[in-house]
Amino acid sequence: MAQKKDSTVLWWIGWIILTIVSFFVSAYFWTHFIAKHVGPISQPGVPVLWVATVFGGWMVLLIPLIIVMYNKVDRAYEDARISRENIAFDKAKAEFKVRSENIDPEKRLLSKALKNKLKIIPPAVKRGHLVTAILKDGRKIPHVFVLKGEDVLGIYGAQRLDFDIQSIVDFEASDLDHLPEFKTEEWLRLDGVGA
């Protein structure tokens, strides 16, 4: 990283030197050209012509330098943005201590009958239901989170998914007035986020 910063500083110093040198190249060329083809600087109108040609020539010489500078600055900003995003992602990843399993989205979807049953259960949050799932074997899995009325997205308090989503046969509404104090690290996400 330090080497990259040193390289950037050296590049900027080089760019400034090239900008200054290009001015003197333009001044040198046009001074000799005007003196040879138009006349001495003391002649009327020659100083205005000299200023116009020197600065005009300098601007022409600066065009490639400006393009290179723009590309370099754009790349530097892009590198800085990526670096900030990576730092923010690593920080969020460290703070986001949820357990996760990556279950195929198709295998997380509920049957049509269960979707219809869910429509009569009030949502716990916008677009999300918190329910107790009843399995074929009679087990009850509390605090199952279903997104958009069809996608089993998470289970609170589970260490791992030890049943098939398709083995859910019924739901009971969770008592939204008597919920545990949810902690992020106790959630098991089924979409692979945080894994």
7-62 confidence digits (pLDDT tens): 777 888 888 899 999 999 999 999 999 988 888 888 888 899 999 999 999 999 99
The residue among 80 and 25 whose pLDDT is bigger is 25
What is the predicted pLDDT for the residue at 52? 93
| Residue 89 pLDDT > 80 | no
Residue type, 96: F
What is the predicted pLDDT for the residue at 51? 92
| Residue 133 pLDDT > 70 | yes
What is the predicted pLDDT for the residue at 94? 65
Helix axes 46-95, 2-37, angle to 10 degrees: 170
Q: 27 vs 15, 54, 55, 85, 132, CA distance in Å?
A: 19, 5, 8, 46, 83
Q: What pTM did the predictor assign?
A: 0.49
Average pLDDT, integer, range 141-164: 83
Q: What's the length of the chain?
A: 195
Q: Residue 191: how many CA atoms within 13 Å on its side-chain side?
A: 10
Residues 6+ apart with CB under 8 A from 51: none
The residue among 23 and 4 whose pLDDT is bigger is 23
Average pLDDT, integer, range 120-134: 83
Average pLDDT, integer, range 102-122: 82
Q: What's the CA gap between 56 and 110, in Å, rounded? A: 72
